[in-house]
Amino acid sequence: MVRFGLFGAGRIGQVHAATLAAHPRAELVVVCDPMLEFAGRLADTHGAVATSDVDAVLADDTIDAIVIGSPTPTHVDLLSRAVLAGKAVLCEKPIDLDLARVDACWEQIKDVDHTVMIGFNRRFDPSFADIRSRVAAGEVGQLEQLIVISRDPEPPPAAYLAASGGLFRDMTIHDFDMVRFFLGDVVEVSATGTNLVADHVREAGDIDGAVVVLRGASGAVAQITNSRRCAFGYDQRLEAFGSTGMLTADNLRPTSVRYSGAERTEAAAPYLNFFLERYLPAYRAELDHFIGAVENGTEPSPRFADGRAALLLADAAGESMRTGSVVRLG
Amino acid sequence: MVRFGLFGAGRIGQVHAATLAAHPRAELVVVCDPMLEFAGRLADTHGAVATSDVDAVLADDTIDAIVIGSPTPTHVDLLSRAVLAGKAVLCEKPIDLDLARVDACWEQIKDVDHTVMIGFNRRFDPSFADIRSRVAAGEVGQLEQLIVISRDPEPPPAAYLAASGGLFRDMTIHDFDMVRFFLGDVVEVSATGTNLVADHVREAGDIDGAVVVLRGASGAVAQITNSRRCAFGYDQRLEAFGSTGMLTADNLRPTSVRYSGAERTEAAAPYLNFFLERYLPAYRAELDHFIGAVENGTEPSPRFADGRAALLLADAAGESMRTGSVVRLG
Amino acid sequence: MVRFGLFGAGRIGQVHAATLAAHPRAELVVVCDPMLEFAGRLADTHGAVATSDVDAVLADDTIDAIVIGSPTPTHVDLLSRAVLAGKAVLCEKPIDLDLARVDACWEQIKDVDHTVMIGFNRRFDPSFADIRSRVAAGEVGQLEQLIVISRDPEPPPAAYLAASGGLFRDMTIHDFDMVRFFLGDVVEVSATGTNLVADHVREAGDIDGAVVVLRGASGAVAQITNSRRCAFGYDQRLEAFGSTGMLTADNLRPTSVRYSGAERTEAAAPYLNFFLERYLPAYRAELDHFIGAVENGTEPSPRFADGRAALLLADAAGESMRTGSVVRLG
Amino acid sequence: MVRFGLFGAGRIGQVHAATLAAHPRAELVVVCDPMLEFAGRLADTHGAVATSDVDAVLADDTIDAIVIGSPTPTHVDLLSRAVLAGKAVLCEKPIDLDLARVDACWEQIKDVDHTVMIGFNRRFDPSFADIRSRVAAGEVGQLEQLIVISRDPEPPPAAYLAASGGLFRDMTIHDFDMVRFFLGDVVEVSATGTNLVADHVREAGDIDGAVVVLRGASGAVAQITNSRRCAFGYDQRLEAFGSTGMLTADNLRPTSVRYSGAERTEAAAPYLNFFLERYLPAYRAELDHFIGAVENGTEPSPRFADGRAALLLADAAGESMRTGSVVRLG
C-alpha cells in the first residue's frame, strides 16, 4: 500500500482524490490546501484527514508519495520540497509557466535520488497508448506524419486565462507532450495563432485557436490543431500515419447508440464533454503507473525532463507565432 | 455486339433501356409496348425503333436477345415465345405469380436449347456479390446465420398492390432469392406477417411487414426482415455470420459527408432512396453477365429454376403465415 | 448506507461483491457460501466477513438487503426465506428453471410486503437503456420491429450445460427480457434451433444457436438471434425500428483505435470479450437502481413477475421449436 | 448539343473522351494529338475523327468547345489560340508551371470575350461540393479551420517528376484550389516539406511530403497534409470546422462490406485506388457545369484567375519552405 498526501483540493485535486481512493494499492492519507474548508470536505469524502500545513505533510514519515494538484505557481516549490523530503512526486502539468523557474527547480533536485512523474495523463489514454505501442511495434512502418486534433468545448473565463500562461502553455502543452511521446526530440516548430472564438481571449492578449507544425529528429512531421471552442463536445483525436499504414483514435461517446430518421442517419450523441469524463481512465492508468514505479523503485514516465521539454516547445511556438519564422531547436 | 429487343416501356423498361444504351457491347434495336406512344418515346431517347407488334420483334432474325420488362402477367407468354423464336431472354422477376403457370411455361421451353436468365439483380450488387464470393472462399468459415434486412421507403398504392401478388411474391421474392444465393436449397420456411404501416394494405388483404425464418439444407438459418415503410430511406442490409467471422453490407449514401453539431455527431444523409438509385450498378452488372452468357453460349445465372424456387418460397411463406406452422420443403 | 449480505462467492458473486464495494451508499457486510474458503477469500478482498450459515445472515437485523448470486437451484429457497426475513432482495436471473417452482415461490411471498428485483442487468446497459427511454419518448414513432443479436464468444463446457436448463432458459432468457422491456406483453412465440457449433452441445440434448420471433400485444414483432460461438467476441446489438426512425446499439470495444493498411482499412479491435467486461456498467447501474428502491421504499424493476414472464417465453420457445408451430400466449 | 475538340490522347485525355462520350448534350468530334496513332485509337473508341493538326481543329467552325488535356507546357499556347479562335475552353490544371507564362497568356485573352474554365475537378466531387454548399448555407456557423488530407498511393516515376514542377505545383495545386474554394483569398502561407518516401524524389530535388498552413482573409486557417505514398490507397479527406459544427468527408470504397473475425472487426476494403476512380463523378460533374456555361453563355467556375491563384500559392509555399518564414500575400 502506497500512502499518499495530496496538495490541492480544487477540480483536479478532486479527480486525483477519487482516483487514489479507488486504487487497490493506494491510500489517501491527507489532503492539504490553504483553504482548509475545501481540504476538509474532500478529505471527508475519502476518509482522509485535512490540513493546510505543507511542512507537516512532508515531515510525516508514513507518507510515501505526494500528488501535486495545486495551482501552477505553487508546483516548483512543492515539488522540490517534496523531493528533498524524500517523497515520490506525481506533479500536475505544467511544472511551471517559466522555463527559468523550471530549471531552478531542477537544480534543486537533480542530485537527489528522486521519483518524479509529470501528469501528462493523455499518454495513458487507452486509445493513444494503444496506438503508441503499436507504432513502436512497427504496425505502421516508419512513422511519417502525426495529426493531433485537440479542441475544448468552451473557452475558459478571463480569470482563468490571466493565470494560464497562454494557450500554448496551458492547452497545447498536452499536445506538445503527445508529439514528443510519438516523435521524441523535436527540432523545428512553426506556429500559427487565431482569434476567432471569443473577445475576452483577445483582450487577455491570448489566442483561442492554433495550428502548430513540428518536425522530429527522425524527419517525421506533426501537426497540432487547437480550438478553445467546439460545438459538438471535447474533440480529441489522433492519427499516426506511416510508411505501411495508419492508426487513428476517434472521440468517445457515452453510448454506442445511433439514430436514423427522415432527416439524417446514424447520428451519434455529442462527445464526452470534457477532460474529466474523457480522460478518467487515463488518470487511473497514470496513477497506476506511478504507484508501480514507487513500489518497484523504477523511474516513472513522463518525467521531469519531459515536462521541461513540453514547456520549451510552448515557448518556441510562441516565438514562431510572433516572428512568423520556423524556430529551430537542439 | 448483341442486338436487343426490349418488351415494356414502363419504369423498369426505362432502366433496362438506359443500361442497354450504355453497354459497349449491346445495341438496343427495338422497344415493344402495346402503348406505342410510350414505346416511341423510350426508343427515341436511345436511338431505337418502336413497335407494338411482338411477333415482328420475335421474327426479326437480326435480334439476338430479348429483355422482358413488361407487366408480370405477360412474362410467361413472352418468355416461351421468345425462347421458341431462338432468342436469349433476360426476364424480370417474378416469372409469374402462379406456380402452375411457371411450370407450364417450363414445359414449353425445357426441351428447347435456351439461354434464359431471371432478373434477380441484387445478386449483382457489388457489396452483396463481394460477400457471396468471400463466403464461398471461406472467409467466414462455415456459414451459419444470414440476416437480410429489406425495407422500402413507402408502401405502393392500392392499384399496384392489387396486381402485386402480395408482399411475399412482390417484395420478399428478392430476399428469398438472396437467401438461396447464399444457402442454396431451403428445407424449412416459417413466416410472420404484420399490418402496422398502412390501412390500404390491410384493406387489400395484404401485409406490410414480415419476418421470415428459413433453414437451408446445410443447417444454416436465414432471417428476412421486411417493411413497406422506412422513414430514413431504402434500407438494404445483409449480414453473413459464420464459424470464423462475419461479413456485413451496409446501406449506401450519395456522399461520404458527416455532420457534427451541438445536438448530434457524425450524422449522415438518408440512404439512396429507392431501387433505381441503390441497384443501378447491379442492373448494369446483371446485363453484363447476361451479354457474356449470350456471347459465350454459357448458361446465365440466376436461371429459370431460380425464379421458380423463389416463388415456391413465397408460397411457402404465405402458407406458414396462415397456418402458424413451419412449412417443410423438399 | 444500505447493508448487504451476498449469497454466492462464484463468478457472478464476485461481480456483485466488487460492485457493492464500489457503491458509495452500499456496504458489503457478509459473504455467504457453503464453500467457506471461497466466501472467505471474497470477503477478505472487500473487508466483509464470511460465513456458510444462511440462517445467521437472515437473522442479522443490521442487514438490509440480500444479493442472491448462488447457483440457480438455490434461488427460490433463498429468495423466499430472505423475503420472509424482511430483507430486500436482488436475485440473479433466472428465478428458477422450472415454472412450477417459480410459482410456488411466488405463493410464499406474494402476500408479504417485499422488495424483490430480478437481475436482468442488460436493462441497465447505458446503450440499451438510452434506446428504451428514447423509444418511450417517441423518437422512432410507433415501435414496429425489434432486432436483438446476442452471441457468446464460446460455448460453455458440458458440465455447465447439464445444469443450465438449455439455451432458451440460460442464454436467451436475457433476450426474452429485453424483448419484454421494449414490447411489453408477448402474445406469440415462434422458435427455430440449430446445432452448428459444438458436438458436446448436441450430445447434451441442447441447441447452440436459435432464431426466435415474438409478437407483442401492440402488434410489433421482435427477432432474437443467438449463437453460442462468435469468432470476433461477445456480439451484443439491438435495433429498434419504428414508424419515423430507428435507434441502434452497436458493440463496444476497449479503445476507439482503427487500423488502415495495404490489406484493409478502419479495422477495429475485437469486442469486449464477455459479459463481465461488456456489462460492468450495467451491473453497477442495476445495483444503484436497487439501492434507490430500498432507500425510497419503491418497487424496483424488473420485478418477480418479469422473471417469471421471461421463463414462460423460454418454455414457449422450446415448445415452438419442438412442434414447429407458433405458440400463442395470454 | 455542344461539339467538342479534345487536345491530348494520354491518360487524362482518355478520361475526358469517355466523359464527353457519355454526356447526353456533348459530342466528341475530333481528338488531336501529335502522336496520331494515339489520337486515332482514342477517336475510334468514341466515334470521333483523329488529327495532329491543331490549326484545323481551331479553324473548324462546327466545333464549339475545346478540352485541353495535353501536357502542361502546351496549355497556355493552346488555351490562348483556342480563345482567339472563338472556342470555349476547359483546360486541365495547372495552366502552366511558370507564373510569368500564365500572366502572358492572360494578356492575350483578357480583352477577348471568352469562356475559360480550369479543371480543378475536385470542386465537383459530390462530397466536397456538398460540404461547400452546406458551409455556405451556414451549417457550421463561421468557418474557422479547414483540414485537407491528400495522399497519393505511390510516388510518380522520375521522368514524371522531372516535368512536374515539384510537389506544390503538381499535387498540392489541387489542395490549394480546395482551400481557396472554401476560404477565398489567402493572405498567409507557411510550408514544411519532407523527404521520407523515395530516394528518387530527393534526387530530383523535390519533396515527397508536406504540411502547408494557410490563413484566409476571414481569419480562418487551413491545413494541407500531403504524402506521395499511402499504403492503404488514395487518401482524400476534408474537415470543415466552424463555430457551430463540423462537416467531414471520408474516403470512398468500392463496396460497403465490412469484415469481423478473430483478429479484427469492421475491417473495410482499401480505398478506391487513384484519381480516375475516386474522382470520376467529379470529372462528369465538371464537364456538365462547363457545358451548361457554354449553353447559357455564363462564366464557368473555377476560371482562369483561380488557376493563376493556385499557382501563386504553390510558389508561395515553395518560398516559405526555403526561407522558413511565413509568406504574406495580397
pLDDT higher than 90, residue B175? yes
Q: What is the pLDDT of residue D245?
A: 97
Are residue A100 and residue A187 in the same domain, yes or no? no
**Residue A47 is part of a domain; what is its CATH number?**
3.40.50.720
Cα separation of B19 and B8, whole Å?
14
Which of B145, B147, B194 is closest, CB to CB, to C221?
A: B194
Cα separation of B328 and B326, whole Å?
6
Cell matching residue C287: 445495483
pLDDT higher than 80, residue B165? yes
pLDDT higher than 80, residue B273? no
Q: What is the pLDDT of residue A272?
A: 80
Per the DSSP assignment, residues forming a β-bridge with D68 are: D7, D91
Q: What is the pLDDT of residue A277?
A: 83
pLDDT higher than 90, residue B289? yes
Q: What is the dihedral of CA C135, C140, C145, C151, to 10 degrees?
A: -60
Low-confidence spans in chain A with pLDDT less than 50: none
Contacts for D30 with CB less than 8 Å, ≥ 6 apart: D5, D6, D43, D48, D49, D50, D51, D57, D60, D63
Are residue C249 and residue C313 in the same domain, yes or no? yes
In a domain? residue B31: yes
In a domain? residue C287: no
Which of A95, A114, A133 terminates a domain? The answer is A114
pLDDT category at C273 given cuts 50, 70, 90 is: confident
What number is the average pLDDT over the span C206-218?
Answer: 98
Task: State the ipTM, two decimals.
Answer: 0.95
Give the E-state strand segments of B8-44 in sequence order.
26-32
Contact A246 C252 (CB under 8 A): no
pLDDT higher than 90, residue C233? yes
Measured from the Cβ of residue D101, the count of other Cβ atoms closer than 10 Å reads: 16
**Residue A145 is part of a domain; what is its CATH number?**
3.30.360.10
**Inter-axis angle of helices B99-109 and B304-323, nearest 10:** 160
The answer, for B254 touching chain D at a CB cutoff of 8 Å, is: yes
The answer, for B27 touching chain D at a CB cutoff of 8 Å, is: no
- Strands across the sheet with D88-92, in order? D49-51, D26-32, D2-7, D65-68, D88-92, D116-119
For A141, the closest chain C residue by CA position comes to C261
Q: What is the pLDDT of residue A276?
A: 77
**Chain B residues with CB-CB distance to A267 below 8 A:** 264-268
pLDDT higher than 90, residue B18? yes
pLDDT tens readout for residues A14-30: 999 999 998 989 999 99
pLDDT tens readout for residues D97-147: 999 999 999 999 999 999 999 999 999 999 999 999 999 999 999 999 999
Residue A251, sorted as left (phi over 0), alpha (psi -120 to 50) or beta, turns out to be beta
Residues 286-325 of D with CB under 8 A from C: none
For D259, the closest chain B residue by CA position comes to B247
pLDDT higher than 80, residue D207? yes
For residue A150, what are the CA distances in angstroms to A132, A145, A246, A275?
17, 16, 19, 11
Average pLDDT, chain B: 96
In a domain? residue B151: yes
Q: What is the pLDDT of residue A285?
A: 96
Are residue A142 and residue A228 in the same domain, yes or no? yes
Which of D51, D86, D114 terminates a domain? The answer is D114
Contacts for D100 with CB less than 8 Å, ≥ 6 apart: none
Instruction: State whether residue B239 is helix, strand or coil.
Output: strand
Are residue C96 and residue C132 in the same domain, yes or no? no
In a domain? residue B304: no
In a domain? residue C44: yes
Short-list A265, D140, D209, A1, CA closest to B232: A265
Give the distance from residue B119's alpha carbon to the nearest chain A alpha carbon, in angstroms.
30
pLDDT category at C300 given cuts 50, 70, 90 is: very high
pLDDT tens readout for residues C24-36: 899 999 999 999 9
Cell matching residue B218: 446445410
Are residue A55 and residue A156 in the same domain, yes or no? no
Short-list A194, A191, A318, A206, CA closest to D220: A194
Q: What is the pLDDT of residue D251?
A: 94
Are residue D93 and residue D148 in the same domain, yes or no? no
pLDDT category at B53 given cuts 50, 70, 90 is: very high
* Greater pLDDT, D181 or B276: D181
Which of A248, A254, A257 is closest, CB to CB, to C248?
A: A257
Angle at A194 between CA D142 and CA A125, to 5 degrees: 90
Short-list C123, C150, C146, CA closest to C214: C146
Q: What is the pLDDT of residue D276?
A: 77
In this structure, are residues C70 and C81 in contact, taking their beta carbons and an 8 Å threshold?
A: no
Q: What is the pLDDT of residue C275?
A: 78
Peptide bond before residue D34 is cis, with ω within 30 degrees of 0: no
Q: D interface mutation test: which of C253, C264, C272, C273 has the most D CBs within 10 A?
A: C264
pLDDT higher than 90, residue C330? no
The answer, for C263 touching chain A at a CB cutoff of 8 Å, is: no
Give the distance from residue C97's alpha carbon to the nearest chain D alpha carbon, in angstroms.
33
Are residue D195 and residue D142 in the same domain, yes or no? yes
In this structure, are residues A13 and A42 in contact, taking their beta carbons and an 8 Å threshold?
A: yes
pLDDT higher than 90, residue C60? yes
pLDDT category at D277 given cuts 50, 70, 90 is: confident
Cα separation of A131 and A141, whole Å?
13
Cα separation of B180 and B174, whole Å?
10
pLDDT higher than 80, residue C274? no
pLDDT higher than 80, residue D162? yes
Give the distance from residue B320's alpha carbon to the nearest chain C alpha carbon, in angstroms.
9
Cell matching residue B21: 444504351
Measured from the Cβ of residue A136, the count of other Cβ atoms closer than 10 Å reads: 10
In chain B, % helix, strand, coil (3-state, to 5) comes to 40, 25, 30
Q: What is the pLDDT of residue D56?
A: 97
Q: What is the pLDDT of residue B189?
A: 98
For B242, the closest chain D residue by CA position comes to D261
Short-list D116, D153, D96, CA closest to D293: D116
Which H/E stretch holds residue D191?
A: strand D186-194
pLDDT higher than 80, residue B318? yes
In this structure, are residues C320 and C314 in contact, taking their beta carbons and an 8 Å threshold?
A: no
Q: What is the pLDDT of residue A274?
A: 76
Q: What is the pLDDT of residue A273?
A: 77
Are residue C102 and residue C139 in the same domain, yes or no? no
pLDDT tens readout for residues C153-184: 999 999 999 999 999 999 999 999 999 999 99
Q: What is the pLDDT of residue A126?
A: 95
The answer, for C273 touching chain B at a CB cutoff of 8 Å, is: no
pLDDT category at D330 given cuts 50, 70, 90 is: confident
In a domain? residue A298: no
pLDDT category at B271 given cuts 50, 70, 90 is: confident
Q: Is the alpha carbon torsion for B104, B108, B113, B118 positive or negative?
A: negative
Q: How many independent structural domains does chain A possess?
A: 2
Cell matching residue D85: 479562335
Are residue B162 and residue B104 in the same domain, yes or no? no
Which of C65, C92, C114 terminates a domain? The answer is C114
What 8-state DSSP symbol labels residue A140? T
Phi, psi of C199 (to 5 degrees): -60, -35
Cα separation of D322 and D131, whole Å?
34
Entry pTM:
0.95
In a domain? residue D152: yes
In this structure, are residues A4 and A21 in contact, taking their beta carbons and an 8 Å threshold?
A: no
Q: What is the dihedral of CA D67, D70, D72, D76, to 10 degrees?
A: -50
Instruction: State whether residue A304 is helix, strand or coil.
Output: helix
Contact D194 A245 (CB under 8 A): no
Which H/E stretch holds residue B258?
A: strand B257-261
**Domain range holding A196?**
123-282+309-328
Give the distance from residue C265's alpha carbon to the nearest chain D alpha carbon, in angstroms.
5
Q: What is the pLDDT of residue D273?
A: 77
Q: Which residue has the cell 490544371?
A: D93
In this structure, are residues C101 and C75 in contact, taking their beta carbons and an 8 Å threshold?
A: no
pLDDT tens readout for residues B110-149: 999 999 999 999 999 999 999 999 999 999 999 999 999 9
Give the distance from residue C40's alpha carbon to the nearest chain A alpha carbon, in angstroms.
18
Cα separation of B261 and D246, whole Å?
6
In a domain? residue C299: no
Radius of gyration of chain B (CA): 20
What 8-state DSSP symbol labels residue B181? H
Cα separation of D55 and D53, whole Å?
6
Cell matching residue B47: 436511338
Are residue B318 and residue B274 in the same domain, yes or no? yes
Are residue B41 and residue B16 in the same domain, yes or no? yes
Cα separation of A178 and A184, whole Å?
9
Are residue A107 and residue A144 in the same domain, yes or no? no
Cα separation of C1 and C23, whole Å?
10
